[in-house]
Structure 1
Amino acid sequence: MPDKIYNVLFLCTGNSARSILAESIMRKDGAGRFRSFSAGSHPKGAINPFALKVLKAATYPIDGMRSKSWLEFAAPDAPALDFVFTVCDAAAGEACPVWPGQPMTAHWGIEDPAAVQGTDLEKEAAFVAAFRYLKNRISIFMNLPLRSIDSLSLGAKLREIGKLEGSTYPHPKAG
């Protein structure tokens, strides 16, 4: 019997930077095991040029990618989702649509690289950092024993991943 291919949706408000990076990373690194998607609650309608530049430089796919609404994934004919990850704090706080497939969800918030002010070099560096944080989370996620782990343990692991380096999750201050 062939292994299950899991459908993963990455959400952010604008679907122009972090969720796009995550979709591309999962598309390449999880090929054959995962099918990735991204969307936003208020999509900007265009992908941030720095996201495209960083993905191209790292040889990650950008073909067919577009900024789109999360409502596409709440429609009756949408793919049944197995996992939904919010990658920005604003999207995590919004009331999400009901997703087909009753997916497991977790918040993996990281700073918005598109919000960085400064030179193009500083902006690109923010996108490289976001790419690295997302790639790390996705790698750990893909190595979880998804077929054999119980849902309670899996949910806890998914939340732990969201608290890794680069997280916007509140960390205790060092004394």
Structure 2
Amino acid sequence: MKPQIRKRAVIVAASALVVTSVGVGVSQAGPEHRDAPPTKARIAALFDGWNDALRTGDPEKVADRYASDAVLLPTVSNRIRTDHAEIVDYFEHFLENKPVGKKIETIVNVLDKNSAIDTGLYEFTLTDPDTGAQRVVEARYTYEYEKRGGEWLIVNHHSSVMPEG
């Protein structure tokens, strides 16, 4: 076996061991798609996994979709969140309103095999925990993704309420 091929085999085996050890709960794609090249459709679909994480009501599940050094500029907070604990804190409060997101318009740019940007417009239906009243918040967004350790993670997420809303 050539040294380069042997090295790749060791890396693949080590990656499989890490995935088996930590699970694939954070995976944004099934195992059959882990090594597939990114497409605009695959990157756009990462939002669905993020939105599903919102529906669990668990801020840790949502925050796990972000890289450890991610930056979150959230929709309904004036604080920039720059680490896991701050991102969890934001979602603890945001999830109280049982948000359900829906993309209105999306533009995806695949930058290379390990990075992509998804930007556009989305809306959230929020439910007041005290009254049950619902309201829709229209916002613009940018998700910057990087593939790290075989997983697509959010490294930068900016969301802001539409200025003319």
Q: Give the TM interval when normalised to the shorter protein.
A: under 0.3
Q: Which has the larger radius of gyration?
A: 2
TM-score, normalised by the number of residues in structure 1:
0.26
TM-score, normalised to structure 2, is: 0.27
